[in-house]
Amino acid sequence: MNASHVMARRLDSLDEDLGISRENERASQFKNEKKAATEQALAKIAKCKDLEALNVKLEGEKFDLSLKLPRQQLSLSQETKRANEAEQKAQVAQESATKANEEYRASEAFHDELGEETTYCLCRFVKTFKDINPSLVTHYQEFINGYPSHWFSSLDIEAPLSPMEGKENEAIPEAQGHPQAQDPPQS
């Protein structure tokens, strides 16, 4: 066997070894790629499971909210209704207070204008004749209501007559058939 044949065999052997080595390298590379793809697929599967679990959780929370929301809306509606009612009551109270204040101021102005002496005379007039003619008090009730109640609280209590009232009582003639005005008896 000559040297050229030996060399050719060696070259064939080297080519074969090189081919095997390349095949092994490709197989190893394919194996690595397959492993990496498998790991990526497993990671995606795990991520999908996490997303699915998250979706289930979100659906549960959404369902819970769908149950709670009507109750919260009802509660809010009731609170709003109560707040509106309280505001209306406060407004009515404010209007009543304003009206009462205006009436009080008007009454005070009227009382100041009328004067205490005139009021005292009216009290004495009602006191003197209320037992003789009970309708007198009813007739003057609206007028009397314009004054503070304590001004008329002593209608059944003896009060000293002013000189003017004494003269007026003396001026009533007995001949007219009417008895002279007297205070009602003390109770």
Q: What is the 3-state secondary structure (H, E, C) of 101-141?
A: HHHHHHHHHHHHHHCHHHHHHHHHHHHHHCCCCCHHHHHCH
Tens of pLDDT along 54-87? 888 888 888 888 777 777 777 888 888 888 888 8
41 and 82 assigned to the same domain: yes
43 and 97 assigned to the same domain: yes
167 and 128 assigned to the same domain: yes
Contact 130, 136 (CB under 8 A): yes
Identify the pLDDT of residue 19: 66
**Is the pLDDT at 89 greater than 70, yes or no?**
yes
33 and 109 assigned to the same domain: yes
Tokens, residue 32: 């690595």
**Is the pLDDT at 95 greater than 80, yes or no?**
yes
39 and 98 assigned to the same domain: yes
90 and 141 assigned to the same domain: no
Residue 1 within any structural domain of the chain: no
Residue 130 within any structural domain of the chain: yes
pTM here?
A: 0.29
**Is the pLDDT at 111 greater than 50, yes or no?**
yes
Q: Average pLDDT, stretch 34-48? A: 87
91 and 144 assigned to the same domain: no
Distance in angstroms (rounded) separating the CA atoms of residues 60 and 66: 10
Task: Compute CA distances 175 → 167, 169, 171, 180, whole Å.
Answer: 17, 14, 11, 10
Which residue did the predictor score with more confidence, 95 or 70? 95
Contact 162, 120 (CB under 8 A): yes
Identify the pLDDT of residue 122: 67
Residue 140 within any structural domain of the chain: yes
Tokens, residue 61: 């929370």
Average pLDDT score over the chain: 69
Residues 6+ away with beta carbon under 8 Å from 172: 178, 180, 181
Residue 21 within any structural domain of the chain: no
Last residue of a domain, one of 114, 129, 157: 114
Which residue did the predictor score with more confidence, 129 or 25? 25
164 is in which domain, residue-wise?
A: 115-176
Distance in angstroms (rounded) separating the CA atoms of residues 40 and 34: 10
Last residue of a domain, one of 92, 114, 136: 114
42 and 101 assigned to the same domain: yes
Residue 4 within any structural domain of the chain: no
Four-point Cα dihedral 179, 180, 181, 183, nearest 10: -100
51 and 96 assigned to the same domain: yes
Identify the pLDDT of residue 116: 62
49 and 74 assigned to the same domain: yes
**Helix, strand, or coil here: 103?**
helix
Domains held by the chain: number:
2
* Residue 178 binned pLDDT confidence (cut-offs 50, 70, 90): very low
Long-range contacts made by residues 52-55, C-beta under 8 angstroms, separation at least 24?
Answer: none
Q: What percent of the chain has pLDDT over 90?
A: 0
Identify the pLDDT of residue 160: 38
Identify the pLDDT of residue 133: 66
**Is the pLDDT at 104 greater than 50, yes or no?**
yes
Cα 30 to the center of its chain, rounded Å? 73
